Structure 1
Amino acid sequence: MINEFMNEFETIGLYFALAGIFFFIGMAIQDVLKKGDVPKFGRYIVWLVLFLGCSGFIAKGLIQVFWQGAGVG
């Protein structure tokens, strides 16, 4: 029983740590874009790429949860 709780705690901690890393990457990119006087179109492209990377990570996690729940993986 305790092992199950530890596994859940480790998984949730990993997800929060990765979310924190994505947040800090976003803040660093925002700082670089402001200091570099990047045009608006370039900023939109950078944020689009960052958003697609985060959404891909979230989609992978959701697919993994659904597949494991269905007994596929």
Structure 2
Amino acid sequence: MDIESFESLMLKTLLTGLILFMGFIVYDLSKKSKAGKFGTFVLFGALCLGVLGFLIKGVLMRSIG
């Protein structure tokens, strides 16, 4: 396995782990703050928008470059 394929694999694996960990943090934050259903929806919505922006940036960078 060369360096580029290893870096690509680790980037995808560790980024997925980071997103899952941030989801756990948001869930824990919503439970501790007693945010309710709407507050939890807003918190996860903000997290999902951030992840979606990151994915769109990656798609655009591949299509442009």
For normalisation by structure 2, the TM-score amounts to 0.81
Amino acid at match of 2:58: G
Name the structure 2 match of 1:56. 53
Cα RMSD over matched residues?
1.6
Larger Rg: 1
Number of matched residues?
65
Percent identity between matched residues is: 31
Name the structure 1 match of 2:16. 19
Structure 2 gaps, min length 5: none
**4+ residue runs of structure 1 moved beyond 6 angstroms?**
none
For normalisation by structure 1, the TM-score amounts to 0.74
* Superposition deviation, residue 15 in structure 1: 2.5
Structure 1 gaps, min length 5: 69-73
